Amino acid sequence: MSEVVNVAELFGRNVFNETVMRERLPKSVFKKLKKTIEDGAVLDPSIADVVSHAMKDWAIERGATHYTHWFQPLTGITAEKHDSFISAPTSEGKVIMEFSGKELVKGEPDASSFPSGGLRATFEARGYTAWDCTSPAFLREDAIGVTLCIPTAFCSYTGEALDKKTPLLRSMEAVDEQALRILRLFGNTTSKRVTPSVGAEQEYFLVDHEKYLQRKDLIYAGRTLFGAMPPKGQELEDHYFGSIRERIAAFMKEVNEELWKLGVPAKTQHNEVAPAQHELAPIYEQANVAVDHNQLVMETLKKVAGRHGLNCLLHEKPFAGVNGSGKHNNWSLTTDDGINLLNPGETPHENIQFLLVLSCILKAVDRHADLLRESAADVGNDHRLGANEAPPAIISIFIGEQLEDVVDQLCSTGEATRSKAGGTLKTGVRTLPDLFKDATDRNRTSPFAFTGNKFEFRMVGSSDSISSPNVVLNTIAAEALKEAADVLEKAADFDTAVHDMIKEQLAAHRRIIFNGNGYSQAWVDEAERRGLPNLKSMVEAIPALTTDASVKMFEEFKVFTKAELESRVEIEYEAYSKAINIEARTMIDMAGKQIIPSAVKYASLLADSLGKVKAACPVADTSVQEELLIEVSAYLSDMKVALAALSDADAKCSAIEGNKERANAFRNEVVPAMEALRDPADKLEMIVDKEFWPMPSYGDLIFEV
Ligand code: ADP
Ligand code: MG
């Protein structure tokens, strides 16, 4: 038996959380800080010194030597620069440990190398990090020692957001304000705040680290760029929910413990569909905390894997031929006093409020389907979305049979009097049926599914930050809720007005509802008839950021300025070209230096054998050697041609000016050239002696972890 872990004691041990603050801060300071954290009040700058002192003492008692402003630049991962607490040595050569309020609240990293998409010229490289007190500071323990990490937002000298956090916080304020207006209309006078709640299920692969080191594609690109399918894939579905092997179990145990210490509520773990694929899901939290915690989950998975001789692959598609990895972003709107606006409820009154919110979300998603799709775009996700696995690239909403029936009734007769799943009816003025959670009804192919009391957005890529999807969800919801509130606040007869609005919104946007098989060609055709966008790739999705509808909405709710949106467009195009360029160059390297030379060696072995056998025994049948030699030579020459073509395409596209043009060229010319090079290489792998093959095979990687 392994040592007993006291989870309750472990949980949050490394977090400067409410308990610690209550213990260590003067009451008045604690109260002020709590007001900012919980009610969104403006941060009182005068408390910074007191908080920073308490934080420093707490951190140093636990062995911390450094602090860092931990932020989320537009690379999609996190960034940090460590400073030790030491002051300048005194004349006696002694140092004291210092951490001022100023250092807590504001940082100024030399930010010239972070992507800014033209928002900041390099000669004006100033970027500031600002303390986000709504996400708790924490201690990170690793080889460096103990570091106090302070979650921060990152912006330019002129105040533009250069990160993934600032717009998220802005969008949370927007949806809070509008959702509260709706609650007030339904007579709720007690809730003070509405916050988006988010739970992100994280998929990942684990491979042996020694084998990982023998694959340049995994090292440079995070995914395999060559590789023939092993005899067995995932067809038996024997990995999904299968019992967890010892080596993996030991890894998961340590991941959980590390996360619990950081206050991340890791909850669920299981084997996923593909061999070597697993999942971890935490309990949902307030959106910005969930975003931070998902970053910590990714970081911890990688770090702990290293300690177990494993490597964690977060790429969306590490292996062709088996499932890729995603992140299910579960989203709902919750009040400070525990009301979930997406809970259907049990009384007609609650039902009406729920149906109004539901119809607003249908409207929001239908109207901004392109933006939502874009928010899940990253280079790796191009291999999943629309590629016959995971969700399709077309946004639609699954609401389940019972709710669809209610929508049908409302749209056809103006009233819904029945509830399909056999729920009892509560008669009210407008006789709406009681809605029950429908736990049995699941549709794995839907990109955006209503699952009882939350929406599950399943498009997000496994390596991507979940910030952008939640920025979009919060803002599009805020817009639809605002439009509803604007009308309903002026209505003479609220009951009639709300009833009419639900009906109208459902009728106008029901085309976005689809409960069938999202992977089928029939749906692709049907979606086209319905006029729903089908943005098949990242480069096709990026323009959604700066459509008139997008700019108008984001500016209205002060989530992004037009300049900020434009900068993100530039950054994304650039990120796409860079990633494909690295992949292409890695393939060129592997093909030229590893695969072709190995196949040539094998060909000469065959030729040797052929010559020797013929010399020794002229009547012996040497057709096997001959045919193999012909085949190997043919694939070799195919590879040579494809390699030259890829080099040319890569050079040509790299030279293109203009981020958009270059990204499109990479997609249209380099990506197909990469596929053309992979094809003969994978065929060679099937016939070349394994002893000669220069790297571990798919079988070695995913079946022998
Ligand atoms: P499912 O099996 O339907 O995916 P789970 O109960 O396993 O649902 O939850 C998946 C994720 O959704 C978890 O992270 C969970 O905490 C989160 N979740 C559950 N309820 C909500 C909610 N109301 N809002 C946001 N996330 C939620
Ligand atoms: Mg789920």
> Which ligand 1 atom is the nearest neighbour of the CA of 343?
23
- Residue 284 phi/psi, 5° resolution? -65, 155
- 129: alpha, beta or left? (left if phi > 0; alpha if psi -120 to 50): beta
> Would you say the CB of residue 285 lies under 6 angstroms from ligand 1?
no
C-alpha of residue 199 to centroid of ligand 1, in Å: 6
Domains of the chain: 11-163 (3.10.20.70), 171-224+236-560 (3.30.590.10), 574-703 (1.20.120.1560)
Interatomic CA distance for residues 462 and 451, integer angstroms: 21
**Is 291's pLDDT higher than 50?**
yes
> Would you say the CB of residue 201 lies under 6 angstroms from ligand 1?
yes
Other residues' Cβ atoms within 10 Å of the Cβ of residue 462: 27
Per-residue pLDDT, 430: 47
Interatomic CA distance for residues 47 and 529, integer angstroms: 59
> Would you say the CB of residue 561 lies under 6 angstroms from ligand 1?
no
Residue 290, SS3 per DSSP: helix
Other residues' Cβ atoms within 10 Å of the Cβ of residue 422: 8
Ligand showing the shortest atom-to-Cα distance for residue 458: 2
**Is 553's pLDDT higher than 90?**
yes
Task: Supply the residue whose CA is at minimum distance from atom 17 of ligand 1.
Answer: 199
Residue 691, SS3 per DSSP: helix
Report whether 391 contacts 518 (CB < 8 A): yes
> Which ligand 1 atom is the nearest neighbour of the CA of 284?
16
Task: Supply the residue whose CA is at minimum distance from atom 8 of ligand 1.
Answer: 451
Per-residue pLDDT, 627: 94
Per-residue pLDDT, 417: 64
From start to end of 445-587, where are the E strands?
Answer: 448-450, 455-457
Q: For 691-701, what is the mean pLDDT? A: 95
User: How sure is the predictor about 285, in pLDDT bands with cuts at 50, 70 and 90?
Assistant: very high
Report the mean per-residue pLDDT for the chain.
Answer: 90
In one-letter notation, the amino acid at residue 499 is H
Exposure of 2 by Cβ count < 10 A (0-12 exposed, 13-18 middle, 19+ buried)? Answer: exposed
Interatomic CA distance for residues 27 and 268, integer angstroms: 37
Which segment of 8-12, 58-62, 268-272, 423-427 scores lowest on mean pLDDT? Answer: 423-427
User: How sure is the predictor about 328, in pLDDT bands with cuts at 50, 70 and 90?
Assistant: very high
> Would you say the CB of residue 340 lies under 6 angstroms from ligand 1?
yes
299-313 pLDDT per residue, tens: 999 999 999 999 999
Residue 439, SS3 per DSSP: coil
For the ranges 25-34, 103-112, 508-517, 538-547, the maximum mean pLDDT occurs at 538-547
Pocket test for ligand 1, best of 270, 330, 443 (most atoms within 8 A of CB): 330
> Would you say the CB of residue 474 lies under 6 angstroms from ligand 1?
no
Pocket test for ligand 1, best of 284, 340, 443, 456 (most atoms within 8 A of CB): 284
422-480 pLDDT per residue, tens: 444 343 434 444 555 444 456 778 899 998 899 999 999 999 999 999 999 999 999 99
> Would you say the CB of residue 199 lies under 6 angstroms from ligand 1?
yes
Exposure of 637 by Cβ count < 10 A (0-12 exposed, 13-18 middle, 19+ buried)? Answer: exposed
201-234 pLDDT per residue, tens: 999 999 999 999 999 999 999 999 999 988 777 7
> Which ligand 1 atom is the nearest neighbour of the CA of 331?
25
Identify the residue with better confidence: 522 or 635. Answer: 635
User: How sure is the predictor about 413, in pLDDT bands with cuts at 50, 70 and 90?
Assistant: confident
User: How sure is the predictor about 31, in pLDDT bands with cuts at 50, 70 and 90?
Assistant: very high
Helix (H) or strand (E) holding 203: strand 194-208
Distance, C-alpha 287 to centroid of its chain: 13
Per-residue pLDDT, 313: 98
Ligand showing the shortest atom-to-Cα distance for residue 266: 1
**Is 26's pLDDT higher than 50?**
yes
Q: Enter the ipTM.
A: 0.96
C-alpha of residue 456 to centroid of ligand 2, in Å: 7
Per-residue pLDDT, 443: 72
Q: Give the closest residue to 265 by CA, choosing from 70, 511, 15, 598.
A: 15
Q: For 308-321, what is the mean pLDDT? A: 97
Exposure of 63 by Cβ count < 10 A (0-12 exposed, 13-18 middle, 19+ buried)? Answer: exposed
Which segment of 39-48, 52-61, 159-168 scores lowest on mean pLDDT? Answer: 39-48
Report whether 475 contacts 554 (CB < 8 A): yes
642-662 pLDDT per residue, tens: 999 999 999 999 999 999 999
> Which ligand 1 atom is the nearest neighbour of the CA of 330?
26
Ligand showing the shortest atom-to-Cα distance for residue 203: 2
> Would you say the CB of residue 570 lies under 6 angstroms from ligand 1?
no
Per-residue pLDDT, 139: 97
Ligand showing the shortest atom-to-Cα distance for residue 335: 1
Per-residue pLDDT, 252: 96
Rg over CA atoms, the chain: 28
Beta bridge partners of 97: 86
In one-letter notation, the amino acid at residue 270 is H
Report whether 290 contacts 167 (CB < 8 A): no
Identify the residue with better confidence: 156 or 436. Answer: 156
